[in-house]
Structure 1
Amino acid sequence: MSNPKHDKGEHYITTPNAEPFLERLIFNNRAIILIAFFFLTLFLGYNAVKIQPDASFERMIPLEHPYIVNMLEHRDDLENLGNFVRIAVEVEEGDIFTQEYMETLKQITDEVFYLDGVDRSGLKSLWTSNVRWVEVTEQGFQGGTVIPDNYDGSRASLEALRQNVLRSNEVGRLISDNFRSTIVYAPLYEKNPETGEPLDYGEFSRQLEEQIRNKYESQNPNIDIHIVGFAKKVGDLIEGIGSIAWFAGVTIILTTLLLFGYSRSVTGTLVPVFTSIVAVFLQLGTLRLLGYGLDPYSVLVPFLVFAIGISHGVQIVNAMAVEAAKGFDSLMAARLAFRALYIPGMLALVSDAFGFLTLIFIEIDVIRDLAVAAGIGVAFVILTNLVLHVLIMSYVGISKGGIKHVQNHDEKHDRKWKVMSYFAHPGVAPISLLIAVIGLGLGLYYKQDLKVGDLDQGAPELRADSRYNLDNKFIIDNYSTSADVLVVMVKTEDEQCTQYNVLRAMDNLQWELQNTPGVQSSASLADVSKIVTKALNEGNWKWYEISRNQTIINASIREAPAGLINTNCDLTPVLVFLEDHKAETLETVTERVEEFAGNNNSDEFTFMLAAGNAGVEAATNDVISSAKNMMLAFVYGVVSLLCLLTFRSVRAVLCILIPLGLTSILAEAIMAVSGIGIKVATLPVIALGVGIGVDYGIYIYSKLEKFLIEGRTLQDAYFETLRSTGKAVIFTGITLGIGVVTWIFSPIKFQADMGLLLFFMFIWNMVGSIWLLPALARFLLRPDHMVAKARGKK
């Protein structure tokens, strides 16, 4: 065993003035800093346990996109903004024309009416007064509510109800095509108009389950309830957050066991796990104090904060064990570990933070919230890892078993490191680069199929067999109008929305759209005018046209539904019902509308996109599509700049970033092959994977550079790098990969998708830093220049 005052340890024995300022500041005030951490953890930990799940419709949409600006500007004139629930009440045997069914539907309608968050003025069901029938007779127009005024449940009144349903325009909309179910449509307020409090989606979803679904399905075995809508989807996601706690527990247990197997030291296991959990509590407490909650998309950020904490904690445990094996006591081992790691550790963590913060440039608040949460989390990891961790370890040290394990491990595994050091061999490095180029080619080929947006029907955030997606399938299969609605707004001067030229243009747009792939049907004021004009002329189809006579037009739209015309008659919507909300469908339809608007907009009328849930999806896809490349450019730009400032070498930056870039391309190829689109839930993973993955390269390169400057050959320098840091990097990559791969069993599909992608990125970033970085170094680095430069500084 070497004397600790010689060899690699010799340069550590310095005078106090030669020690880094941060080291003196931290270790000369150990007790004070630990007491401060204790009280800070108590305070923020108290707030952390009180943080609540949070979700908001407006925070999940790009408020600055022109589509959304148009939608919100005219929200008071539109019924279908996308934030609503549709409750289908199905009878398993028979049809809806029974006294028992109608009584159940009436009770459900009343229950929904009194739910907090429901816009009661827009509530629709067979039992509401705004659902009417109209017909033309010899005496003129006749009509009334679909439920007869004298309805009493008798056979005669049920037959009258049947006739009213057939005369209404609601078959396929509120009433299923097979007459076995009807819908209760409930638009929602984003904020309570009386209290100003935002809608609690989790509580609203629970009320729908308990007061509607569970209550009425248990009362009547012949009744099935199906519920769809943004609020229900988010509610189901929030409910799924409960399962995330189990995955958090599994991740912590697996990490702890693997860490003990790696270090064979109780303190070397428990302290990094403890400090990583402390970082999570500090993060959550700060978020709560800043007014943030945990929405379904940022709820996974604490996992990443814990993973980052473990990643850097392993480096400290490894460095302390190496120094302790040389004979240093716990305090000196902690100081030497800090001295060796605080620069690469700080660089890696700051790169992580800035990488995450680039997500702020994406104009969707929920992604910006995720960026803030991740940035705050990494800031606390800097404190808990580089300060709290080393200070605790300076008192408790590495156990004898851990020290002995390091000594035996080095002797036993030197042959393995020797073999792996051949990645830097002049004969092996070209082969590695050739393999990387082939992987790059395959990645670029397969990533061509990567789509932006949803690739499946229903809610892709949930699994295909989830209750929500089964309910959505029921709606699609049984109703002519789908749940995916794109609203095109037609803007005119006051009192001009019913002019012939306006209705004719709307009719032409509908003809274009009904011949567009992905469009199921459409509806507008032009349809109402044509239907009524035909009815006024004895139902003759020759009159199924928009009349040029304005008096006839005015008569035809006198009884038009409120949702198709506003009070000033300066806005009227065209409702476009889509087959699905897949990215390709939305892109095709919006392009067709924009082309039509470009060719037909005039001073008299203007076609504007877009409202409805499909309009929101289209705007979101557009923002994500344009932001993706910009975000990656920012991430890599920031990481490159920080590496350049630290290592002062473009060659060093290339060694670190090229493996990272290969991982990003291969991850996108995996997304394309696996049918995972780029959307709100998955876009951040790309940035997060880059931010965390850069840590491996920074630790490997910083050690490699140190040994090269000492005058070693590249292969020898890499051998020493593997002995000192490589094993910690390999362990960290495998541990983090195993920790997140358990997510693939989550009931929340986007968590399973994130688990798959993060598993690949954790593992492949580790492989890239161990395998590809030394091969690149063989061709890019000039050790003689590095030595001369280091001597010149001295």
Structure 2
Amino acid sequence: MSQFENEDATFMERLVFNNRLFVVVAFTVITLVLGYFAAQIRPDTSFTKMIPLEHPYIVNMLEHQDDLASLGNSIRIAVEIKEGDIFTTEYMETLKRINDEVFFLPGVNRSGLRSLWTPNVRWTEVTEYGFDGGPVANRPAYLNDEDLEELRVNVLKSGEIGRLVANNFKSTIIEVPLQEFYPNPEDQSELLRLDYGDFSQQLEEKIRDQFQNENPNIEVHIVGFAKKVGDLIEGLTAVVAFFGIAFVITFVLLFWFTRCIRSTVAVLMTTVIAVIWQLGLMRLVGFGLDPYSMLVPFLIFAIGISHGVQKINGIALQSSDADTALLAARRTFRQLFLPGMIAILADAVGFITLLVIDIGVIHELAIGASIGVGVIVFTNLIMLPVTISYLGISKKAVARSKEDAVRDHPFWRKMAYVAHPKVAPIVVIVALVAGVGCFFYQKANIQVGDLDPGAPELRPDSRYNLDNDFIIRNYSTSSDILVVMVETPPEMCSSYETMEAIDQLEWRMNNLPGVQSAVSLVTVAKQVIMGNNEGNLKWQTLSRNQDNLNNAISRAPDGMFNASCSLAPVMIYLNDHKAETLKRATAAVEDFAEEYNTENLTFKLAAGNAGIEAATNDVISSSELLILALVYIWVAVMCYATFRSLPATICIVLPLVLTSVLGNALMAFLGIGMKVATLPVIALGVGVGVDYGIYIYSRLETFLRQGMPLQPAYYETLRSTGRAVLFTGLCLAIGVVTWVFSAIKFQADMGLMLTFMFLVNMIGALLLLPALARFLIDPAKVRAKEASKLTH
């Protein structure tokens, strides 16, 4: 390098390139160490990480989690007989074996297990002597017709038809409450955490596969949070295949772009190293891979490729008039390190703002992704130029770059017309109309939460959703339960005032659209009082006599009230857990609570899977605008700090705003709700999309400082960096569009949304940014500002 260039070099450039060998050795050692830790990372999730722990609904639920064990984290196993009905020796023996197998699975709350074979499932009848009852299955085995007929009678008396027993008598359910932490069988003083992936696999191997293979007449259906998460983990392990596909596609496109195998391999290897570092650091901070953070390595790979392409493009351009690869790498580092650093900081903030969402898995996604984009500073902004300074770029690629530098580009020249005084207004008006139209469309149509029944994270034809559909079709009680917790002072849950208020809540909820039924202590009490009066329907009501009420609730099954009679849950069975259904049900309960809450009586939401979904939807709804506002504010601050120009900041940020509005409109059009899986995409799209605008404007400003008018300056910008931006957008989009073929629906949704946002952000940076610059940027002021700097 000449003495002038040495003096012009930044401190960071001298630090890196004057110690290249040390940099290479240090990076190699760090990669080996973090690679060791990355190899140890495993799928990891938990029930508590998937819910907003600070939301009032969840706080209320956790406060009473011991009393609501059977209404929290649980699964339901439906055992179906294809030919015949459940009242056969064959079926009952199979059900007994399945019940015993489930009983000994790790993490099962055995005291809360319910099936026809457990003693807590009982029958009751009114006789001339009073009430009579006992366990439904009161024999060790059912081997003859007489015993089976007795079983049939007991089932009919149990009140479990439609709940534990199918309406068509062809299947029954085993209800399995789970414990997040359970004693280690080998050391009772140690608590083990429930491994959802392993638990789901055991359900498949020990329950579904074993018993269906033994008896083709038996079919097993399993639903519940643990099974859904297990299926997600199983499906997401296939992301390795998608990563391989993305790697191959990126390799082909990069080689086509660079025409140089050395630079192609360098970009890919440094980007893969970034992924290894990210996974290793996640393991070091104690994180595993949950269904959401499993997608972060894809995003880090995509962002790394984006910055790598810019560096390779810059080095190829510099190589046309540089004597050595080292000189070209240093010049490119000097020119692009600051814009790249600013873009990566903007990316990181796009992730960090997700910490606003009070959900554990989103926190881990935000932290893991922030770590990932942080390491890109070292791998793609530092290590890549150093690597190329050793390897160089092929003569063919340099010759192509020289040819591009002198020849005319008709495509770029035509595109540069977006900065023309007559074309720019048209571009801005089109963008404005599209933005305003999509804003009002998405405002009217987008919904927070799930829009489909079952598990929307999975495909409609997935095994889980087919199992869920089976249970909905064959049982009267839905798997979507909203639980209202009725709190009273001790020994007051059975007072007439409490029971009457609960009765009023039941009546309101039973008449609310979207509600199947409501069950509580009052339901049982009315049945018992009627039974005490010869089964006369006129007596199916609440008695004002406290002794009668106390006697009535004494026959209530477990879970209807707690030991101190200070909590009486009301179970509201919903048709589904769609956003609209949950919003209507929770609003009705809150209105009721406002009317009926007193000092000694409080109606609190919410437990059950529907209560958790409602709390999650509430958190997403309240966080959406805040996240976008924080992202845009920080991106704007970073852009202003970089370019010291408010007009330049507006030119870069407005295309991102338009992309967010269009993205929300696309979600509304495709019927994708705003939820945990999709909200991060909007923030990530803004963070990643700002890269295009920063790289384009930094080059445009360089030519404006040289005294060029706006349109010619933009043409030169497109010649130097437009090809890299266009290629990056297409490469990233092609890399994530493969996700739409995933068996996991939320991954497919994220892939579709990210593809859209990568492309639209690229188009916005190439077309809308220069059109806005026509109105906001004065080339004369840019030149004057540069002249003022040189003078001082």
> Which aligned pairs between 1:26-425 and structure 2 lie closer than 5 A?
26-149=16-139, 151-194=141-184, 195-410=190-405, 414-425=409-420
In structure 1, distance between residues paired with 2:224 and 2:400: 57
Distance 1:80 1:579 in 2: 20
CA deviations on 1:112-148 (whole Å, 9 max, x unpaired) are 0000111111111100111001111111111100012
Alignment of 1:5-20 (within 5 A): 14-20=4-10
> After TM superposition, what 4+ stretches of structure 1 lie above 6 angstroms from structure 2?
none
Distance in 2, matches of 1:282 and 1:79, equals 41
- The answer to whether the aligner puts 1:661 opposite 2:657 as a matched pair is yes
Tell me how far 1:151 sits from its aligned partner: 4.5
Tell me whether 1:435 sits opposite 2:435 in the alignment.
no
Give the TM-score taking structure 1 as reference length. 0.98
State how far apart, in whole Å, the 1-side matches of 2:125 and 2:323 are: 95
How many matched pairs? 784
Question: What does 1:751-790 correspond to in 2, within 5 Å?
Answer: 751-790=747-786
Indicate the SS of the match to 1:585.
helix
Aligned to 1:487: 483
Counterpart residue type for residue 556 of structure 1: A
Q: Which amino acid aligns with 1:385?
A: N
Contact 2:255 2:261 in 1 (8 A): yes
Q: Distance in 2 between matches of 1:405 and 1:186?
A: 67
Alpha-carbon distance in structure 2 between the residues aligned to 1:460 and 1:402: 48
Provide the C-alpha distance between the structure 2 equivalents of 1:140 and 1:74, rounded to a whole number of angstroms.
Answer: 35
Letter in 2 for 1:91: I
Aligned equivalent of 2:442: 447
Deviation at 1:592, TM superposition (A): 0.3
Alignment partner, residue 525 of structure 2: 529
Please give the alpha-carbon distance, in whole angstroms, between the structure 2 residues aligned to 1:606 and 1:163: 40
Distance 1:82 1:149 in 2: 31
- Please name the residue that 2:187 is paired with: none
Note if contact 1:91-1:223 (Cα within 8 Å) is conserved in structure 2: yes
Conserved 8 A contact 1:80-1:612: no
SS of the equivalent of 1:85 reads strand
Q: Distance in 2 between matches of 1:258 and 1:658?
A: 30
Give 1:539 deviation, angstroms: 1.0
Report the equivalent of 1:8: none
What is the SS of the residue equivalent to 2:192? coil
Greater shift in the superposed pair: 749-758 or 405-414: 405-414
Deviation at 1:419, TM superposition (A): 1.0
Q: Secondary structure at the match of 1:561?
A: coil
**1:514 equivalenced with 2:510 (yes/no):** yes
| Superposed counterparts of 1:560-575, under 5 Å | 560-575=556-571
SS of structure 1 residue aligned to 2:151: helix
Q: What residue is the counterpart of 1:631 in the other structure?
A: 627
* TM-score, scaled to structure 2: 0.98
2: CA distance between counterparts of 1:260 and 1:762?
Answer: 21
Superposed, 1:443-482 pairs within 5 Å as: 443-448=438-443, 449-482=445-478
The superposition leaves residues 235-287 of structure 1 with CA deviations (integer Å, 9 ceiling, x where unpaired) of 00000122111100000100010000001011121101100000000000000
Q: Secondary structure at the match of 1:182?
A: strand
Give the Cα separation in 2 of the matches to 1:266 and 1:782: 42
Distance of 1:108 and 1:203 partners within structure 2: 18
Aligned-residue Cα RMSD (Å) equals 1.1
Residue 411 of structure 1 and its aligned partner are, at CA, apart by 5.2
Structure 2, unpaired ranges of 5+: 185-189
SS in 1 for 2:559: helix
Structure 2 match to 1:743? 739
Contact 2:450 2:577 in 1 (8 A): yes
Structure 2 residue identity aligned to 1:23: E
Distance 1:322 1:793 in 2: 26
> Does the 8 Å CA contact 2:92/2:142 hold for their aligned counterparts?
no
Which residue type is aligned with residue 414 of structure 1?
Answer: H
Aligned counterparts of 2:274 and 2:747: Cα–Cα separation in 1: 22
Equivalent residue letter for 1:266: I
CA contact (8 A) 1:82 1:230 kept: no
Identical columns (%): 56
Contact 1:313/1:385 (<8 A) preserved: yes
Q: Which one of 784, 789, 793 corresponds to residue 789 of structure 2? A: 793
Residues of 1 paired with 2:75 and 2:681: CA distance? Answer: 30
Residue 550 in structure 1 maps to residue 540 in structure 2: no
Q: Which residue of 1 aligns with 2:612?
A: 616
Note closer, same or farther for the CA distance 1:397–1:724 as it changes in structure 2 (3 Å cut). same
**In structure 2, what residue type is equivalent to 1:632?**
L
* Cα deviations by residue, 1:613-645 (Å, 9 ceiling, x for unpaired): 000000000000000000001111111111111
Q: Please say if residues 70 and 112 of structure 2, whose CA atoms lie closer than 8 Å, have aligned partners that are also in contact.
A: no
Deviations 1:397-451 (A, max 9, x none): 1111211222344456622211111111111101101110121123113212111
In 1, are the aligned partners of 2:486 and 2:570 still within 8 Å (CA)? yes
Q: How far does the alpha carbon of each residue in 1:156-187 deviate from its partner, in whole angstroms, 9 at most, with x for none?
A: 01000000000002111110011000001100
Contact 2:740–2:749 under 8 Å retained in 1: yes
Contact 2:705 2:783 in 1 (8 A): yes
CA contact (8 A) 2:561 2:567 kept: yes
